[in-house]
Amino acid sequence: MARLEQIKAEDWPDELKAMIKPELLTDLEQGLMRYFAHAPALVSGLAAFSGGLKLNRTLSERLVELVRLRIAFFNQCRSCMAIRYTDAIDDGLTEDLVCSLERPEDAENLDEAEKAAIHFGELMATDHLRIDDNIYAELKKHYSSAQIVELGMICAFFVGFGRLAATFNMVDELPEAFKDNAQALSPWGNEAIVVR
């Protein structure tokens, strides 16, 4: 059960409804906004930032989803691990690829560019001070400077808001396996929910 009261979309302030358009989303897709509605004045900046990350993305949807799910594992964010986005599926994400995230460095179905980005995301989530010249040199083999900045901003977003979501314990709409906080879970090997 969630640790904060969710605010139903019909009770959101009109400006938040106009910005988020909750009528186009399922309850699960409304996600954190159901909690952020407690502080609606803060949402516009967040919506602009997250919208900018999505609309101006140059990295592939598949790559971003792989990085997101690897970070979600370290954050132990149940809702983050349970969700798969259709944009990523349309871009080639499969559950076999998700299973590769258990040991991405050994995965034969991930290319070297994906492995480098996933490793960067993992370090952002676990030990950011280990990101050194060598990590950046590997990223530069595969990505432009602009794409590395984009990757960093995406990782920072996933690490921070994934950890916040994990503390909210947003598990009510998730498959049963994700509702128990007594043990660590992974996004691989468990039932997933596909959302827009």
Give the pLDDT confidence score for residue 190 in this predicted structure.
Answer: 81
Check residue 181 and give its pLDDT: 76
Residue holding tokens 């592939």? 60
pLDDT mean over 181-195 = 83
Per-residue confidence (pLDDT) for residue 171, from 0 to 100 = 86
What integer pLDDT is reported at residue 99 of this predicted model? Answer: 96
The pLDDT tens digits of the residues spanning 4-21 come to: 999 999 999 999 999 889
Residue pLDDT, tens place only, 138-159: 999 999 999 999 999 999 999 9
The domain 61-195 having CATH identifier 1.20.1290.10: the answer here is yes
Domain boundaries, the chain: 9-55, 61-195
